[in-house]
Amino acid sequence: MPGISLDLVQTVAIGAFNPHIVRPDWMIRQKLCKAEEFGGVEFLPTGDDEDEVFRFGRQEWQVDYTRLSVSVRKPGSPAVDDTGLAVAGVIRLLPHTPVHTVGHNFHFSCTTTEWGGKPLPQLGPNVGPALDGREPTQTSWSGTYERGDGVWTEVTADVSRTHDIVVLLFNHDRAVEPEDHETALHAAGRLSEDWAFTVRLLNDLFRIEWAS
């Protein structure tokens, strides 16, 4: 039976990006992506007219005036699909673009059957029964860990009894002073470090041993 799966690796940088600049042709001109990959570029439909969403190979790029994100769905491994390096490439080319925060996200999911008896964080014994003992259809737990040096990790575990699905979301973010270009670059390049922290938390919190 398949176990928990890594569904998404994503890097999000909050900052004053310009969707009219960060575009595939610009990225190729700046040698951020290889020209021969251009044939593989596709603009994707978006529900927001200020967004530009396109894909280079496996990477989905989303740019608007407040954020830049690069995502890979069903990634092989974060070591291969390093979305942080892609974001760092853009930040490097735009030293005058203020960046406030850089975050790395890892999303996992499995069915409740696949989850089995693994532990889930609880709110504690003080939460009593409600509505004549009815169980909630969806329960979510979220915890934030301060890792030092301005790095925060938020873990969210969500159990949907309606859909028999457990999702785990890990968000690691680093605040950046808007004029501190080097720190923004450094933050975008820390995906593998955050992945290692995610693997450790998977084990510590949920007794999940992630085979890399």
Residue nearer to another protein on the CB measure, 94 or 188:
188
| Residues contacting 63, CB < 8 A, separation 6+ | 17, 18, 19, 22, 23, 51, 52, 53, 69
In the complex, minimum distance from the CB of residue 168 to another protein, in angstroms, rounded to a whole number: 9
φ, ψ for residue 78, nearest 5 deg: -60, -25
Smallest gap from residue 203 Cβ to another protein (A): 21
Residue with tokens 């673009």: 97
Name the residue nearer to another protein (CB basis): 55 or 186. Answer: 55
Whether the Cβ atoms of residue 58 and residue 34 lie closer than 8 Å to each other: no
For 60, half-sphere exposure in the C-beta direction (CA atoms, 13 angstrom radius) is 15
Q: How far is the CB of 132 from another protein (least distance, A)?
A: 22
CB of 116 to another protein, least distance (A): 17
For residues 15 and 100, the answer to whether their CB atoms sit within 8 Å is yes
Q: Report the residue number, 119 or 143, with the smaller CB distance to another protein.
A: 143
Q: Residue 26: what residue type?
A: W
> Which residue lies nearer to another protein by CB, 33 or 87?
87
Q: Which is nearer to another protein, 31 or 149 (CB)?
A: 149
Nearer to another protein, 31 or 120 (CB): 120
Binding residues (CB under 8 A) for another protein: these are 7-8, 10, 12-14, 42-49, 51, 55, 62, 64, 66-67, 69, 71, 73-74, 100-103, 105, 107, 109, 111, 138, 140, 142-144, 146, 152, 154, 156, 158, 160, 162-163, 165, 167, 169, 171, 173-175
Nearest CA among 8, 6, 12 for reference residue 70:
12
Query: Which residues lie across from 139 on neighbouring strands?
Result: 159
CB of 124 to another protein, least distance (A): 14
Distance CA 114, CA 164 (A): 10
Cβ at position 175, least distance to another protein in Å: 5
Helix (H, G, I), strand (E, B), or coil: what is residue 102? strand
